[in-house]
Structure 1
């Protein structure tokens, strides 16, 4: 059986997926205000993008190493609401659909995302 990393297309697939997720966040009226400032600093944007790629890749069984912050420190002071969190999840699911990711793999990604919600909401 393939790992979740492999089912998401490995390094290339995850990179494309993250790019679409970020684009969805940047255009989602409910959350774009949180993400648009990243584009003002291209170096910071590139580092954040790479952290997201490495986070998803390493968390799904890939060889990439995530060296970013843990979830609570990364989201501390942001006071993310449950509604914003769900909007971000919708953006992730939309990207998975765009890439024709199968239903079980989508459920597996969703399970990971939901396992992190208490470390993100209200921090």
Structure 2
């Protein structure tokens, strides 16, 4: 693991900070009136563990994400581009609120952007296209 990657993980406070970020993220997501429906009746402990591993791996931490691939994990959920963007905003806002440096926010944003084709499965509603 490169020194640069470890410094990103360390710069946010390591595993305790990632845990706090994930806990806060899911409070935000479950409080969001549009996104909350995606989190009803889920095993939140399992979901949080996967999210912690994903975030830690994305910023160079020692955890390795070993859950389902993103397409399989999100298949059939009907996630729109707007939903994806809202989750991304919540995550970035959560990390920023916990003092994550801009470089870490950019790294997470880049990793998330690359996942969009695997996560977004619902077409953009016509009203969002200006029709």
TM-score bracket, shorter-length normalisation: 0.7 to 0.9
Where does structure 2 lack aligned partners over 5 or more consecutive residues?
Answer: 123-131
Paired residue for 1:25? 29
Measured in 2, the distance between the counterparts of 1:94 and 1:115 equals: 19
Task: Map 1:72-111 to 2 at 5 A.
Answer: 72-111=71-110
Tell me how far 1:117 sits from its aligned partner.
0.8
Measured in 2, the distance between the counterparts of 1:54 and 1:103 equals: 20
Paired residue for 2:126? none
CA deviation vs aligned residue, 1:51-83 (integer Å, no higher than 9, x gap): 111122123222223221010000011121001
Measured in 2, the distance between the counterparts of 1:16 and 1:2 equals: 22
Q: Is the 8 A contact 2:22 2:48 kept in 1?
A: yes
Q: Is the 8 A contact 1:30 1:87 kept in 2?
A: no
Please say which of residues 73-82 and 61-70 is displaced more in the overlay: 61-70
Measured in 1, the distance between the counterparts of 2:58 and 2:101 equals: 18
Measured in 2, the distance between the counterparts of 1:56 and 1:70 equals: 15
Paired residue for 1:45? 44
Tell me the C-alpha RMSD between the 2 structures. Answer: 1.6
Measured in 1, the distance between the counterparts of 2:102 and 2:65 equals: 26
Over 3 Å counting, the alpha-carbon distance change for 1:53 and 1:106 in structure 2 is same
The TM-score, its normalising length taken from structure 2, stands at 0.81
Where does structure 1 lack aligned partners over 5 or more consecutive residues?
Answer: 39-43
Instruction: Give the length in aligned residue pairs.
Output: 118
Q: Is the 8 A contact 2:92 2:105 kept in 1?
A: yes
The TM-score, its normalising length taken from structure 1, stands at 0.86
1:36 is the counterpart of 2:40? yes
Q: Is the 8 A contact 1:21 1:95 kept in 2?
A: yes
